[in-house]
Amino acid sequence: MIEPGIQGRREWTVTEEMTATHIGSGPVRVFATAMMIALMEKACMSSVEPFLEEGQQTVGTHVDVSHVSATPVGMKVWSESTLVEVDRRKLVFRVAAYDEKGLIGEGVHERFLIDTAKFLAKTGAKNG
């Protein structure tokens, strides 16, 4: 059963492919905000995976985070998540990201529980 209090953590080392210049989100060669958000989502998603029923997954639906400190290539970064609210299929997480020098970002991320087959069928119907 998915209940508040579930925690997650994911860790990466910043590579050139994770920089703002590489993904096209800015002119500076530092850990991109989009990549920090992806790391946060990964911590949330993986934390609840053991509690999912067969055929279920979660999808991200909302992100409200601040990126407060830049991280250079080669430095370790990690994200920690805590599930703080479950409202039927909506899961709300508090998220924070850190590098070896401290906090780099924090906020809230929402995910929804989905039936994977139904979700893909509905999405595929958009093609015609």
Q: Which of 19, 58, 67, 109 is catalytic?
A: 67
Q: Answer yes or no: 71 catalytic.
A: no
Of 41, 58, 80, 110, which residue is the catalytic one? 41
CB 109 within 8 A of CB 68: no
Q: Which of 33, 58, 71, 110 is catalytic?
A: 33
Q: Where are any strands of DSSP class E within the chain?
A: 7-13, 56-67, 76-87, 90-99, 102-115
Q: Are 105 and 63 in contact (CB under 8 A)?
A: no
Whether residue 62 lies in the annotated active site? no
Q: Which residue has the tokens 């601040």?
A: 66
**Active site includes 67?**
yes
Which residues carry out catalysis?
33, 41, 67
